[in-house]
Amino acid sequence: MAGNSFGQIFKVTTFGESHGAALGCIIDGCPAGLRLSVDDLRRDLARRRPGGGGVSTSRKEDDEPEILSGVFEGRALGTPLTIVIHNTAQRSQDYDKLKNVYRPGHADMVWDIKYGFRDYRGGGRSSARETAARVAAGAVARKFLAENEVSIRAWSQSIAGITAPSPNDDEFSLDEAEANEFRIPGRSAAGKIASKIEEIRSAGDSAGGVVECHVNGLPAGLGEPVFDKLDALLSHAVMSIGAVKAIEFGAGFSVSGMRGSECNDRALPLAGSRKTKYLSNNSGGILGGISNGDSLVFRAAFKPVPSIARKQITIDNTGKEIEIEITGRHDVCVCPRAVPVVEAMTALVLADLMLRARADRNVTF
Site for ligand FMN, rule CB under 6 A: 57, 106-107, 126, 128, 131, 241-243, 303, 305-307, 330-331, 334, 337-338, 341
Residue 57 or 314 with smaller CB distance to ligand FMN: 57
Question: By C-alpha distance, which of 306, 303, 59, 308 is closest to 202?
Answer: 308
Nearer to ligand FMN, 76 or 338 (CB): 338
Q: What are phi and psi of 69, to 5 degrees?
A: -155, 165
Collect all residues with Cβ–Cβ distance below 8 Å to 216 and sequence separation of at least 6: 150, 151, 153, 295
Nearer to ligand FMN by Cβ, of 24 and 165: the residue is: 24
**Residue with Cβ nearer ligand FMN (331 or 343):** 331
In whole angstroms, give the CA distance from residue 333 to residue 183: 11
Q: Which amino acid is located at 81 in the chain?
A: L
Distance CA 88, CA 85 (A): 9
Query: Cα–chain-centroid distance for residue 289?
Result: 21
Question: What is the closest distance, in whole angstroms, from the C-beta atom of residue 110 to ligand FMN in the complex?
Answer: 9
d(CA 33, CA 79): 11
* Nearest approach, Cβ of residue 332 and ligand FMN (Å): 8
Residue number with CB closer to ligand FMN (14 or 281): 14
Residue number with CB closer to ligand FMN (29 or 204): 204
Residue with smaller CB distance to ligand FMN, 19 or 337? 337
Q: How far is the CB of 122 from ligand FMN (least distance, A)?
A: 9
Is there a contact between 293 and 220 (Cβ–Cβ < 8 Å)?
A: yes
- Please, which residue, 70 or 208, has the CB nearer to ligand FMN? 208
351 contacts: CB under 8 Å, gap ≥ 6: 7, 10, 141, 142, 144, 145
CB 186 within 8 A of CB 193: no
- Select 88 or 240, whichever has its Cβ closest to ligand FMN: 240
Q: Comparing C-alpha atoms, which of 306, 357, 356 is closest to residue 123?
A: 306
Chain centroid offset of residue 271 CA: 37
**Shortest distance, position 350 Cβ to ligand FMN, whole Å:** 20
In the bound state with ligand FMN, the residue whose beta carbon lies nearer, of 87 and 131, is 131
